[in-house]
Structure formats: C-alpha cells, structure tokens
C-alpha cells in the first residue's frame, strides 16, 4: 500500500521546513560571526587610537608619556596586549600585560604600508587571537614608521558566539517543533473529511448506512454526491431487475399452473381412451418446463455479493424463518434449538440469505423426525453454520449429486433437489462452501461456511 496523503504531506513539509530552518540558522550564524568580528576590530581600533595618544618615540625608543589608557594593558595576562614596533628594528615596545606571556605578535605586519589597518584572526587553538595592526609614519622628518599591534584573546567573543549559537539552536528547534505540531493538527483537521468519507464508505459497504452524509467541504461535495448517485442507481437498477424477474415469474408460473391442472383433469376423464400416452408426454414436458423456469428464475433472481452490500443479523433472520416454518409445520411437534450469537452478522443481500437459509431450514423441517439443531460459529474462514436434523439423512453416494446437479435424491418429497442446488449456487456465488455430512443427531448435517 502507498503512503497515506497525510504521511506524504507531513513528510514533504517537514523536509522543506527543516532545510529552510537549517539555511536560516547558517545565515544567522554567519552574520552574527561577522558582526562579532567587526565589533572586535572596532574595539581594537579604539585601543590603538588611545595607545597612539600616550606613546612617545624618542631616540629610537618607545616610551609612555602618560598612563596607559586601557587598564588591561597593564595587567599581566589580562587578554589584551599591545606592541609598538619600528620598521628595520627587532626591538619593540610591549605592553606590561604582554611581558609575562609569550604573545606571538605577527612579523609580516612590518611590511605594511603606512596608514593601513590590518585585522587578522588567528584560530590556532593553542593561542587564538585577534590582531589589529596599524602602520603610521611617526617622524615626519626621518620618515620613521611605527607599527602598532593590539592583540585580544578571542575567548570572550567566542563565548558570546557560543551563547548565540546555543540560543539560535534552541530557538530554531522550538520553531520546528511548534511547526510540526501545528502542521500535524492542521493536516488532521484538513484531511478529516477524507477520513470521514472513507469511514462512511466502509459503513455503506457494510450496509450500516444508506447514503453518505451531506456535510462535506466544497472540494469533496461533488465526489460524495456522485458516489451517492452511483449507489442509489445500483440499488434502483437491481430492484428494477428483480421486479422484472418477479413479473416474469408470475406471468410464467400462473399459466403453467393452469396447464398442469387442466392436464390432470383431461387425464382423469380420458383415462383408458388411448390418449394416455400423449398426456403423459405433455405432463413430462410440462414438468421439465416447470423445473427449468423455477431453477433459472431462482438463479437469475440472485443478487450476489454487491459492492455496496448489507449485513444481516443471522440470529434474527433464522428466528423469523423458524417461526414461519413452525407456522407452516404446526402439525408436527419439532424441537428446534439455536445456538447463535445474537450479534453475529452475515454480509450479503437479505433476499439471497433468506433463500439460502429458507431452503435449508425447510428441508430440515421436511425431513426431520423430532429435532433440528442450528448453530453458528466464527471460524478462520468466516462464519460456519450447521443445521442438523434427526431424519433419515442423505446417503453418502448421493451427496455430491444433490448439491451440484439438482437431481432429486428422494422422490417422495419433491422440490428438494432443485432447492439444494440453488442453495449451492448461491453459496458459491458468495464464495462460501456447502457440504453434507452425517449429524450426531442421526440425520443430515448441512454445513455452510460464509465469508
């Protein structure tokens, strides 16, 4: 089975949102880092300017004319260091903070053009620093170039970046979760009419409802109405078909009854007058016509399992049939026991099922001596129904014939052959099985399995 619509929508939107949020996170992170670096450079520049204000350069040596403007430059290992170097000289002035620690001030900055700022980030994990170097022509006369370099440890900036990243991750994750939850609800709500429709179609199939409800959103309304029309059309055409068949049955069988009765009175009056054999022939042919009409019409009237079916409460239906048969067989005290779960439902057309059980039960009433036992059980293959009686039973060698060819196993009580073969056809149409066995009661056991 393919993934459901809800799963598909959910999967794709979550994927898209996840990528969007990742990209956004990446961009935000980059921008933040850039602004952190810009801030660091700005800070170092300010330190450089204030350092330039207090530096004297006399006799090739750098000295301070006043207190250093930035207290951290005096404080050993404070994380902020400065150096002033003269081009063409290895000696350089270093801020007191740098005296005890070995800050690797870059060498290449000495080659810088005067008036140039250079910001360098050294990510060496042993000594990560930001450097800002500025070369300036100090002595206008001799053209001395001093290079100011201010170094700052990166840890403070990195901490703020770590904080930012953590907050960013938390925030984006929260957004993602919120969105996923919202989307889940939106999908459920948005797709609920489809789910409802699926449920209702299932109920329609099971015969628990007649039509779909009329509360679908615009997009589905058309589909729902078409489905209803289809169901209604099927129902109508089936009932039209059945009515036509019933009319046919009526208009064929009544004349057959008339002919049969006329024939029997003719036979009575003409007995021994030489017409006996021709009336016998007529009677034979008439019997064939009757049985063909009966058999074919019974077969044609079968609805069979339908797309939009119905279910029948087995116990209630059998109860009705037994009550009706008791009325018809009032003369004989027959003990009928039923073991059927009152909740048990069988899927199928009520008319068809009544035909199946009516014929089977009527046979049981006809052939039993005193007892009939009916029981129904759920089995792996569906529902198994057994009808037992204590009559003469059906001899083993006749069982197949009785079920499949419609010949009569017993000429004494006519009708059974055709009845059972119609039942067998009906049952196979419903993909069920019908078998004959010997009952523990002594008579026949008809075993029926319906899906």
Partner 1 sequence: MRVLIVEDEAALAGQLVAALRSAGFVVDAAKDGEEGFYFGAEYDYDAAIIDLGLPRLDGMGLIRKLRTAERNMPVLILTARGNWQDKVKGLEAGADDYLTKPFQMEELLARLNALIRRAAGYSSPVLEHGELKLDTAKKDVRVSGAPVELTAYEYKVLEYLMLNPNRVVSKTELTDHLYEQDFDRDSNVIEVFVGRLRKKLDPLNPIRTVRGQGYRFFSENDG
Q: Give me the residues that bind partner 1 (CB under 8 A), please.
A: 246, 249-250, 252-258, 260-262, 264-265, 290, 294, 298, 301, 320-321, 323-324, 327-328, 330-331, 350-351, 354-355, 357-359
| Segment (H or E) for 175 | helix 155-206
In whole angstroms, how close is the CB of 379 to partner 1 at the nearest point? 25
In whole angstroms, how close is the CB of 253 to partner 1 at the nearest point? 4
Helix/strand/coil (H, E, C) string of 343-402?
Answer: CCEEECCHHHHHHHHHHHHHHHHHHCCCEEEEEEEEECCEEEEEEEECCCCCCHHHHHHH
In whole angstroms, how close is the CB of 12 to partner 1 at the nearest point? 53
CA distance 206 to 347: 7
In whole angstroms, how close is the CB of 256 to partner 1 at the nearest point? 4
CB of 45 or CB of 260, closer to partner 1: 260
CB of 127 or CB of 256, closer to partner 1: 256
| 3-state DSSP assignment of residue 102 | coil
In whole angstroms, how close is the CB of 16 to partner 1 at the nearest point? 59
CB of 78 or CB of 310, closer to partner 1: 310
CB of 352 or CB of 388, closer to partner 1: 352
For helices 218-270 and 155-206, the axis angle rounded to 10 degrees is 20
Record the tokens describing residue 37, joined without a space: 């670096």
In whole angstroms, how close is the CB of 430 to partner 1 at the nearest point? 16
In whole angstroms, how close is the CB of 194 to partner 1 at the nearest point? 37
CB of 114 or CB of 305, closer to partner 1: 305
Angle at 192 between CA 186 and CA 195, to 5 degrees: 140
Alpha-carbon torsion angle 140, 141, 143, 144, nearest 10: -90
CA distance 32 to 157: 11
Look at the block and give the residue holding tokens 């008809």.
446
CB of 96 or CB of 351, closer to partner 1: 351
In whole angstroms, how close is the CB of 347 to partner 1 at the nearest point? 17
In whole angstroms, how close is the CB of 331 to partner 1 at the nearest point? 5
In angstroms, the Cα distances linking 98 to 143, 315, 387 are 28, 100, 107
CB of 113 or CB of 331, closer to partner 1: 331
CB of 124 or CB of 331, closer to partner 1: 331
CA distance 17 to 176: 7
Q: What are phi and psi of 88, to 5 degrees?
A: 60, 20
CA distance 247 to 269: 34
Number of neighbouring beta carbons within 10 Å of residue 63:
11
CA distance 93 to 348: 103
Question: Are the beta carbons of 393 and 402 closer than 8 angstroms?
Answer: no
Number of neighbouring beta carbons within 10 Å of residue 416:
21
CB of 220 or CB of 266, closer to partner 1: 266
CB of 85 or CB of 363, closer to partner 1: 363
In whole angstroms, how close is the CB of 255 to partner 1 at the nearest point? 8
Write the DSSP symbol of residue 415: T
In whole angstroms, how close is the CB of 252 to partner 1 at the nearest point? 8
CB of 87 or CB of 260, closer to partner 1: 260
CA distance 101 to 76: 8
Record the tokens describing residue 303, joined without a space: 């609805």
Q: In sequence order, what DSSP letters do the residues of 258-277 get, joined into one string?
A: HHHHHHHHHHHHHTTTT-HH
């Amino acid at each position: 089975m393919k993934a459901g619509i809800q799963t598909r929508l959910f999967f794709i939107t979550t994927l898209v949102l996840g990528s969007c949020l990742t990209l956004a996170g990446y961009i935000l992170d980059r921008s933040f880092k850039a602004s952190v670096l810009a801030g660091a450079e700005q800070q170092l520049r300010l330190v450089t300017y204030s350092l330039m204000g207090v530096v004297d350069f006399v006799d090739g040596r750098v000295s301070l004319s006043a207190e250093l403007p930035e207290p951290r430059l005096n404080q050993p290992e404070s994380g902020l260091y400065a150096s002033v170097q003269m081009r063409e000289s290895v000696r350089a002035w270093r801020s007191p903070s740098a005296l005890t620690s070995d800050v690797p001030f870059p060498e290449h900055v000495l080659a810088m053009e005067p008036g140039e700022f250079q910001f360098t980030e050294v990510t060496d994990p042993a000594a990560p620093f930001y450097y800002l170097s500025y070369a300036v022509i100090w002595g206008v006369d001799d053209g001395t170039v001093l290079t100011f370099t201010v170094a700052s440890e990166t840890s403070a900036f990195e901490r703020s970046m770590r904080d930012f990243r953590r907050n960013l991750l938390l925030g984006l994750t929260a957004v993602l979760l919120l969105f996923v939850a919202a989307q889940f609800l939106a999908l459920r709500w948005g797709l609920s009419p489809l789910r409802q429709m699926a449920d209702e179609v299932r109920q329609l199939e099971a015969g628990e409802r007649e039509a779909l409800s009329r509360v679908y959103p615009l997009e589905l309304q058309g589909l729902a109405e078409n489905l209803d029309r289809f169901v209604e059309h099927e129902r109508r055409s089936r009932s039209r078909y059945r009515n036509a068949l019933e009319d046919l049955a009526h208009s064929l069988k009544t004349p057959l009854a008339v002919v049969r009765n006329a024939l029997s009175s003719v036979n009575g009056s003409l007995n021994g007058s030489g017409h006996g054999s021709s009336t016998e022939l007529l009677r034979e042919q008439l019997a064939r016509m009757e049985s063909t009409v009966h058999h074919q019409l019974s077969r044609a009237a079968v609805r069979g399992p339908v797309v939009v079916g119905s279910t029948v409460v087995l116990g209630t239906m059998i109860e009705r049939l037994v009550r009706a048969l008791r009325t018809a067989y009032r003369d004989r005290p027959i003990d009928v026991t039923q073991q059927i779960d009152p909740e048990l439902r069988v899927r199928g057309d009520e008319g068809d099922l009544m035909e199946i059980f009516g014929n089977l039960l009527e046979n049981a009433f006809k052939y039993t001596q005193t007892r009939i036992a009916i029981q129904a059980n759920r089995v792996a293959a569906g529902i198994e129904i057994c009808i037992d009686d204590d009559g003469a039973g059906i001899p083993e060698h006749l069982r197949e014939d009785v079920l499949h060819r419609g010949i009569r196993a017993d000429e004494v009580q006519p009708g059974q052959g055709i009845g059972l073969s119609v039942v067998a056809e009906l049952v196979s149409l419903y993909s069920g099985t019908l078998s004959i066995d010997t009952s523990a009661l002594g008579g026949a056991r008809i075993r029926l399995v319906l899906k």
